[in-house]
Structure 1
């Protein structure tokens, strides 16, 4: 098992138990993962784990790089002073500032060098001096005027002892707004399905509800996980799981051909109706999923089965039953059973590859 690179004690865990207050937070996060999904990027998103939102660009522990975001929903616009203001807590001890809390989650730990973006997202925006008077929705350290940058740096130095603010720190003004967040995300999902499967029919409401419910579930989990695989399984929403939801609630003509070809093959294989119906349903979902977004695992599996198929000469067999049996035997000899969950899935991959090659 791979160690979890994020397995450090979290700054706070109260956010997970009060997750219902942060509706805007995960609607913004949904927009981020939809954007990545449109670009066919692999990702996993964590809610209330070290920060409000953490996004990783890979599902393997050794390859993962992270984006850390704190998402704020408030009426007041952030200034350099309010970003670094420290209120008094119990016994007159100073609390961490908004910016200080974000940076303390990202710096001086084992995953610091693997963070590519540190982002503070504010629904009310920022009142920071910008060089050349530009109006930016993503404000980077190099965009801020000397006076405001000096204020931020000096105050953070007093709080955390940091001399220079990280270059990958960003202040982000989101497109999504409080008053339209549900409808905004719904339209984003509809456009995502159309981009993945041009001409497809999709149930955007069902997609939205499924994904938002799962995000709520992972946001309420307060446990830490030392094993990376368990963290991804228990606490994250991945590109694979999102794509499965989109596929489940979409239909497309591209699937009709493979369904028709399978009907002919199943008849030749003398399959009974019950087995044929169940297999065709799963095969259709597989075909639609791969038509829209091939994950690294999908690419590896399809390439492996295609290579296995090439070792068997179809002309050397009297009928389709013998040919498919030979393909299955070759796949097992080639170790491909280790790449799928069971022998039924292996048969699915054999037939999928066979039908796609025709």
Structure 2
């Protein structure tokens, strides 16, 4: 069991309970998912866990770094004063400011040195005095005029005792807006599939609905997780899970080719029709997934089966059935069962390697 580097007590969990009010934040998060997927980067995205959106750059706990985002859908424009204004709560105690709440999630935590971006996203934008009077959609610390930065810093110092604002703090104006969020994300999924699999056919609506439903599910979970693997399983969307959804609702000529090759091969294997259909379906999904985005795990698994395949000489066998059986036995001998879920998946990997090598 690997410890979860984010296993600090969360500031609050009320956001998870009222998740239905926050469609905008997870539509914005989906835009970030699509950007990273286009770049074929590995990631895990967490909703309502320490912050509105947290993105890990890998699925490996010991290597993960994090982006923390608070997402606001509002018409009002944030100023230095409104960002750091503290309202009175119960018994006249001062509440956290918007910026103070975000920084409080990130600073003086066990994971602080692993955060690469602290972002405040607001559909209403920001009104700062900027150096060179630039019009920016991503405002970094170095872009803000000294007098404006001094106001922000002094107010946050009074609230949190912070002397210098983090250099990786950013203020972000999103392209997506509330009125077009569904259509915007849906069209971006369609473009993503076209970029991953040029010439592919996809059902963008089904992809969108499946991902949005899953994001809603993970957003409603309120638990903390000490174990990293359970956090990823229960509370995140990953590059792998998103890609599985995309491949499930897409089709590409490369899949037709491998299905035709499989049909030629399977005639000599003597399988019953049910087994043939099941293996063919799973083989097709594997082929499409690897055609568009090879994760680090996919690369390792594919390479290990390729090495194992090279140890068996096809000329030593009288039939394809004997050859495939020998490849399976060699893969088992090489310990490759530990790399897959079950014996059927090992067989699929063997066939995939065989057909891709031809």
> TM-score by structure 1 length?
0.99
Q: Counterpart in 2 of 1:152?
A: 152
* Structure 1: gaps spanning 5 or more residues: none
Q: Does 1:237 align with 2:237?
A: yes
Q: Helix, strand or coil for the counterpart of 1:41? A: coil
How many pairs does the alignment contain?
Answer: 358
Equivalence map 1:88-127=2 (5 Å): 88-127=88-127
What's 2:217 paired with?
A: 217
Q: Which residue of 2 aligns with 1:80?
A: 80
Poorly superposed stretches of 4+, deviation over 4 Å: none
C-alpha displacement of 1:273:
1.5
Map 1:1-358 → 2, pairs under 5 A? 1-358=1-358
SS at match of 2:284: helix
Deviation at 1:110, TM superposition (A): 0.6
Deviation at 1:271, TM superposition (A): 1.6
Deviation at 1:60, TM superposition (A): 1.0
Deviation at 1:318, TM superposition (A): 1.3
Q: Aligned-pair distance for 1:270?
A: 1.5
Whole-Å Cα distance in 2 between the matches of residues 336 and 278 of structure 1? Answer: 21
Note the alpha carbon deviations across 1:59-116, whole angstroms, 9 max, x for none. Answer: 0110110000000011210000000000000111000000000001001011000000
Give, in whole Å, the separation in 2 of the partners of 1:328 and 1:278.
18
Deviation at 1:317, TM superposition (A): 1.1
TM-aligned CA deviation for residue 239 of structure 1: 0.5
**Distance across 2 between alignment mates of 1:34 and 1:25:** 14
Measured on the aligned residues, the alpha-carbon RMSD in Å equals 0.6
Secondary structure of the residue aligned to 1:117 is: strand
User: What's the secondary structure of 2:120's corresponding residue?
Assistant: strand
Instruction: Give CA deviations for 1:111-166 in whole Å, capped at 9, x if unaligned.
Output: 00000000000001000111001000000000000111000000000000000000
**Cα distance in 2, alignment partners of residues 32 and 139 from structure 1:** 17
Query: Counterpart of 2:311 in 1: which secondary structure?
Result: coil
